[in-house]
A and B are shown apart, each in its own frame.
Chain A
Amino acid sequence: MSETGVHSREIHIRAISALGDAHLQEAYRSSTLRLFTGRVEAASEVPGWELLRDRARAIKHDVIEHLDYYLAQFADNVEGLGGKVHWAANGEEACRLVCDIAGRAGAREVVKAKTMVSEEIELTHALAARGIRSVETDMGEFILQLAGERPGHIVAPAIHKTRHDVSELFTAHLHAERTDDPERLTAVARRALREMFAQAGMGLSGANFAVAETGTVVVIENEGNIRFCTTAPRVQVALVGIEKIIPRFADLGIFLRLLGRSATGQKLTVYTSLLTGPRRPGEDGPEELHVVLVDNGRVATLADPKMREALFCIRCGACLNACPVYRKIGGHAYGWVYSGPIGALVTPEFTGIEQGRELPFASTLCGACREVCPVKINIPDLLLHLRSKAQEMTRAPQPKDSPVSERTAMRLWAWLMKGPRRYALAARLARVGQKVFARQGWVRRFSKFPLSRWTEGRDFPALAPKPFRDRWKELSS
């Protein structure tokens, strides 16, 4: 089974190991480029794309500012339709609720749609501990379940697996014949899954949106597995992060146009399912519908007026595809279930700044993420905010070759920069000192942090013989 817990402090070593894996590098490079290009083309087809983004942002802003109101409205409407609403403060509670529902339903098997919240709360492990087998029915998640891995991407969980990798897994676990043909590989998964759909006592999904006005859970997908999960089993559970609310049914049109295009470059995904209450007399669908509303760190995020904006996210993954750092280090480097720029925001918020403190630093703040975000989250600005939060609340790790702590170094730096004479004197001393290191204008190796890190892969320029301030006297005479 997949990894558990938060490993975000390991981002440095995980990043290096990803960089050293040529196979992985190529998988991430080609897939992110394809998704990135698809988004650019799909967005360019829509007149008023920018207005759509502004509108979506305004709606999300309203939702997050009045979340209590909209959540209550949503819950009332779900119950009014005959569904059951459950509230979970954290992952443990959410898992217990779902396990209890499965227990009461007598389900020994659960078919799962792709849901990031279930990854977040490690639901598969909780179900297994109660003797309930859960099967991932999304192709990507199905592959990862066999591989025992967490998703490498929010939207394309098996982004890092090539068709060859998939064939290897299917041969080893499902005794399938070796093939690199995607269609035949899909057929293998399909055969394995059909059986499960028929016998599972409970279906589990996430939610892309939850409409307050109508109590509707909206799920989008391309494979039809979610529709199966949400209609075939007798009992259906939707795991919904509390930030997934949108106020009105009419708002859905705005978000659906943005989400498919931003995520995969599709105008709409192949399936859009609207789940409004359990089965009504004479209709198809589950007899029981349970909606589990999950907090798990979201209310704490709401409490920080600046970080609140991170809850606007509709999980399209566009920021991952655009991020030059994500493209290099991959999803697993982030050490939890969300990766890329949005992962660097929500992981420290949802799991605690202690665990996630290094993530906001894993960015050049280039802003490519903000450019593609469908709800215009100012990601670089939030990363900067989290960096200051990290420095206020925790201590920066001190590399072995660092003579002083980062905080001490920054205090010393500020002291120098506040006195132009001190600054000039320090530079003069450094000019004398660098004679030992510099050759023809370059330094090849420093022994102390931080410059030792610079010179691992690059040369460092020597200080100029004369700083500009001294040259100025000649220029102005």
Chain B
Amino acid sequence: MAAKPPRVALFITCLADQFFPMVGECAVEVLRRLGVEVTFNPAQTCCGQPAFNTGYRQETREVAARVLDLFDDAEFIVAPSGSCATMVRVFYPELFADDPERLKKAESLARRFYEFSEFLVKVLKVEDVGASFRGRVSYHDSCHLLRELGVGEEPRKLIRAVRGVEFVELDDYRLCCGFGGTFSVKFPEVSVAMGEDKLNAAKRAGAEVLVANDSGCLMHLAGLAHRQGLPVRTMHLAELLAKRE
């Protein structure tokens, strides 16, 4: 690591902020453990993804334009979410394609914006964060993280390095869990049927804990498991990496 500790501005994401603050706390703990200086800008809200994925581009632009201005001087921005990182990295430049000034800012932001597991492995070059947890753990690839950002190996390396973890792969690990943002309420029956398949795969693999890096997938799968009284426990990667049991 460089002599000067890296500075990270945390992009908490609206879901983690309001529903799963523990994810943010754990991410901060892990980053600090690795010598990173973490900052948080309370002016942040949402990246704009709900409107973007529902086709409301003007509304998205209004929300996204704020994000461009919030992190002007940040060295790295890290989000505990593959889909929010995708929104900023892949779709912001597309969203501002006709606005040269904002496009420049969007491209600069995209270069400095990382998803949590990607940042640990690719930038900090760390796999073992010093965590320990006993249990059979599996990992669900969230689609944006896997297919838009190409991040699949990094979270697995981090999980395997956790002491006490027995890592098991799901037989359909590349398959979508059915969350899909507003898809989850536009096609709730299909969304639930896909979620059931995912939870069944976890059951087949004998996983006690299903880890993912997106609060959206996790709230969908957890809500389904809770409704159906299934034993599988869902956990964000940051929570697992913060564990010292």
Contact = CB atoms under 8 A, between A and B. Distances in A.
Contacts of A15: 187, 189-190
Interface in B140-194: 143-144, 147-148, 174-176, 178-194
A390 B21 CA distance: 35
B18 A467 contact: yes
B244 interface: no
A328 interface: yes
Interface in B20-38: 20-22, 24-25, 28
Interface in A357-379: 360-368, 370-371
Interface stretch (B1-9, B41-49, B107-115, B126-134): B41-49
Interface string A329-353: 1000000000000000000000000
Contact of B21 (A324, A423, A444, A464): A464
A468 B63 contact: no
B219 interface: yes
A391 B147 CA distance: 26
A211 B1 CA distance: 58
A353 B14 CA distance: 32
Contact of B19 (A19, A418, A461): A461
Contacts of A427: 18
Contact of A387 (B54, B180, B190): B54
B232 interface: no
A413 interface: yes
B66 interface: yes
B220 A476 contact: no
A418 B63 contact: yes
Nearest to A419: B45
A420 B59 contact: no
Interface string A402-444: 0000110011011011101001000100000000000000101
A381 B94 CA distance: 10
Given A472-B40, A475-B25, A453 B185 contact: yes
Contact of A420 (B18, B44, B186): B44
A388 interface: yes
A461 B180 contact: no
A458 B195 contact: yes
A411 B189 contact: no
A471 B223 contact: no
A454 B223 contact: yes
A469 B53 contact: no
A354 interface: no
A432 to B, nearest CB: 14
B193 A361 contact: no
B50 A468 contact: no
Contacts of B148: 367
Contacts of A475: 25, 28
Contacts of B25: 468, 471, 475
A199 B98 CA distance: 61
**Contact residue range for chain B?**
35 or more
A463 B18 contact: yes
A460 interface: yes
B64 to A, nearest CB: 10
Contacts of A413: 50-51, 59
B48 A417 contact: yes
| Max chain B C-beta neighbours (<10 A), residue from A366, A387, A407 | A366
A304 to B, nearest CB: 15
B172 to A, nearest CB: 9
A472 B183 CA distance: 32
Given A328-B194, A466-B21, A461 B63 contact: no
Interface string B189-204: 1111111010000000
B24 to A, nearest CB: 4
Given A387-B53, A390-B55, A461 B189 contact: no
Contact of A458 (B54, B147, B187, B223): B223
A46 interface: no
A22 B224 CA distance: 21
B104 interface: no
B113 to A, nearest CB: 18
Contacts of B197: 324
A448 to B, nearest CB: 11
B222 interface: yes
A460 B45 contact: no
B146 to A, nearest CB: 8
B16 to A, nearest CB: 6
A363 B180 contact: yes
A451 B219 CA distance: 13
Nearest to B16: A468
Given A19-B189, A363-B180, A417-B63, A368 B174 contact: yes
A172 interface: no
Contacts of B143: 364-368
A363 B62 contact: no
A471 B28 CA distance: 11
Given A15-B190, A324-B197, 6 more contacts: A361-B186, A417-B46, A420-B45, A453-B184, A464-B21, A472-B40
Interface of A: 12, 15-16, 19, 324-325, 328-329, 360-368, 370-371, 381, 384, 386-392, 406-407, 410-411, 413-414, 416-418, 420, 423, 427, 442, 444, 449-451, 453-454, 456-464, 466-469, 471-472, 475-476
28 contacts: A19-B189, A324-B194, A325-B194, A328-B190, A361-B186, A362-B183, A364-B180, A365-B53, A365-B143, A365-B144, A366-B176, A367-B143, A368-B147, A370-B147, A384-B52, A384-B91, A387-B54, A388-B55, A410-B51, A411-B59, A418-B62, A418-B63, A442-B226, A453-B188, A454-B223, A468-B18, A472-B40, A476-B40
**7 closest residue pairs by CB, A with B:** A364-B180, A387-B55, A366-B176, A457-B192, A367-B147, A458-B223, A366-B143
Interface of B: 12, 14, 16-22, 24-25, 28, 40, 42-46, 48, 50-57, 59-60, 62-63, 66, 91, 94, 143-144, 147-148, 174-176, 178-195, 197, 219-220, 222-224, 226-227
